Amino acid sequence: MGEISCSNGIGNGNGVNGKTHSSLNGYRKSCWYEEEIEENLRWCFALNSILHTGASRYQDIALLDTKPFGKALIIDGKLQSAEVDEFIYHESLVHPALLHHSSPKTVFIMGGGEGSTAREILRHKTAVKVVMCDIDEEVVDFCKAYLVVNREAFCDPRLEVIINDARAELEIGKECYDVIIGDLADPIEGGPCYKLYTKSFYEHTVKPKLNRGGIFVTQAGPAGIFSHTEVFSCICNTLKQVFKYVVPYSAHIPSFADTWGWVMASDTPFTLSADELDSRIKQRIKGENRYLDGKTFSSASTLSKAVRKSLDNETHVYTEGTARFIYGHGSVQKQNQA
């Protein structure tokens, strides 16, 4: 659950739930964003201001100016990305798949309405056509208006934005793609996206829409030492039932308060060394990556012993009837406290 609360800081200074803080003079006005990330565990940070709040047909939307992480996009009370560290998530999501492909010309993004995934793809010189398919037009318009960092990407003639359900769009479309990217919301109970993490979807919708040598990659939720069993391990195992070669990898995202996971899959083996990845980065990508290079990906795809063991022993296959979900389903609320 995501919650915005304000307090004047007057009182005993015990800081209950991070909502009341005292300074040396006993008074400090504060405003905080708080999200429940697990039962009995909440994550909160101070705000400079609330830039915008609204609601679309599908979800609540907020843009917050946070003190530690800059502008932060909140959807349905869950932090989606933050200005200071979103490059970690989006470079990790996009570049490994595009770099491992021999010549990625066409890319389909499931979700990605924020525009950051498209931005990173469009840095690739090989990219000829990028289709971003997001179900929520109001989120896309919101991000176009407020996320200045992605305005150039939205104006790029190689980008086609389609407002539709990604599954329906892939099923009715005739075109196949070199890379398909799942930049979807986390599978949350009662949410619209969990069906796009299932074996049937991967097998009957995604895989047939990949060109020969094509690569699929998806964000796969929390991948920390304790949190990876929520959905990361079973998404990885599910993709193993559909593709010959599957590579899970992870990175710490400070604003998410956890390690995050992605899974890359193909019927063509992933054989590039760190040096070969670096060579392709220099040849193909405009500008310099802030996070990802060959050694970083080698490290990201070398999971800890505990997580590797857990993934090796995972037997759960993600289906609509046996879905797993990450914790929580929140909404942004304002609270005024005396």
pLDDT in tens, the chain (338 residues): 567 666 543 333 333 333 433 333 433 457 999 998 888 888 998 999 999 888 888 888 899 999 999 999 998 888 999 999 999 999 999 999 999 999 999 999 999 999 999 999 999 999 999 999 999 999 999 999 989 999 999 999 999 999 999 999 999 999 999 999 999 988 887 777 889 999 999 999 999 999 999 999 999 999 999 999 999 999 999 999 999 999 999 999 999 999 999 999 999 999 999 999 999 999 999 999 999 999 999 999 999 999 999 999 999 999 999 999 887 644 333 433 33
Angle at alpha carbon of residue 326, lines to 132 and 47, rounded to 5°: 75
Crossing angle for the helix pair 86-100 and 274-284, to the nearest 10 degrees: 100
> Spelled out in words, what is the top-level CATH class assigned to the domain 85-313?
alpha beta
Q: Which residue has 């609204």 as its token pair? A: 54
22 near 41, Cβ under 8 Å?
Answer: no
What is the structure's pLDDT at 58? 85
**pLDDT number for residue 13:** 33
What top-level class would CATH report for the domain 1-7+28-83?
A: mainly beta
Angle value at C-alpha 76, between 74 and 77, nearest 5 degrees: 60
Q: How confident is the model at residue 336, as a pLDDT?
A: 38
Task: Select from 80, 137, 112, 86 the least CA-distant residue to 217.
Answer: 112
The ranges assigned to domains in the chain are: 1-7+28-83, 85-313
Is 312 part of the annotated catalytic residue set?
Answer: no
Which one is catalytic: 183, 186, 275, 312? 183
What are φ and ψ of residue 60, in 5° steps?
A: -85, 145
